Amino acid sequence: MFDLFKKKRPRITTRDLLFGDLPASEWPSEDGQQATTEPWASFVAARKHGQAGKTDLAVAELERIAATPSLESRHYLQAWHFLRLLKVKPPADKAKVVHGVVVEVGLPGGADIVAAYADGTARYLHHTGAGVFWERPDSSLDAEIQALLTAGHEVASRIGPWEQARPEAPTNGNVRLNMLTPSGLHFGYGSFEALSKDPMGKAIIDPATQLMVRLTELRKTVRM
């Protein structure tokens, strides 16, 4: 159980930052300067309790974070990720809440990725390494983000969570549609052609494409 609180530093990629499932040592990193502010300080406290074998106190800290209003979406995902590892399941009314949707399209040179979160932020990572990080400076992308989240909720409500480690990014024209919830990662996977014709796949791919286009356009006019 206490593998959650190991101090070994893994290699973290930009893609890894999208899913709200980083190891405890990296949320925040032990050399991070933000660890004295909330909710970072509470994550650090939970980590220290876990390292000391005080699982009940670690759980209490994480449940408090999960119940705190108006946090960044990935904080909720991280809190529930750690809680699930400690064998704590979310209540039924929270289990399928979609805090984020990440759509990955595999290309010969890597994967293009677009992500949207319930806090109004969004990301677009190009397979070349370029990217756009939208931190919601205004409401101009709210409609596109909400459309993708709504589609993700509809799909997540029909399928179960993935119980294993998060898969690598797709390749060779395949697509993974990731829905991020307190009960874990839900996803659909297949070729772009097949998912574009599938009703549930198309329901996510279409708004994801619209958001990607808007983010690409904004990159030309907004300093990110």
Query: What's phi and psi for 177, nearest 5 deg?
Result: -105, 105
Q: How confident is the model at residue 1 (pLDDT cuts 50, 70, 90)?
A: very low
Question: Structure pTM?
Answer: 0.93
Contacts of 48 (CB under 8 A, 6+ apart): none
Please tell me the predicted confidence (pLDDT) of residue 218. Answer: 81
Q: Where are the beta strands (DSSP E) in the chain?
A: 100-107, 110-117, 122-125, 131-134, 174-181, 184-191
Please tell me the predicted confidence (pLDDT) of residue 2. Answer: 43
Q: Which residue has the higher pLDDT, 4 or 12?
A: 12
CA 175 to CA 189: how far, in whole Å? Answer: 6
Please tell me the predicted confidence (pLDDT) of residue 100. Answer: 98
Distant-in-sequence contacts of 129-132, Cβ < 8 A, 24+ apart? 131/14, 131/224, 132/215, 132/216, 132/218, 132/219, 132/224
pLDDT digits (tens, 9 = 90+) for 113-146: 999 999 999 999 999 989 999 999 999 999 999 9
Q: How confident is the model at residue 11 (pLDDT cuts 50, 70, 90)?
A: confident
Please tell me the predicted confidence (pLDDT) of residue 224. Answer: 37
Query: What's phi and psi for 55, nearest 5 deg?
Result: -60, -40
CA 46 to CA 221: how far, in whole Å? Answer: 41
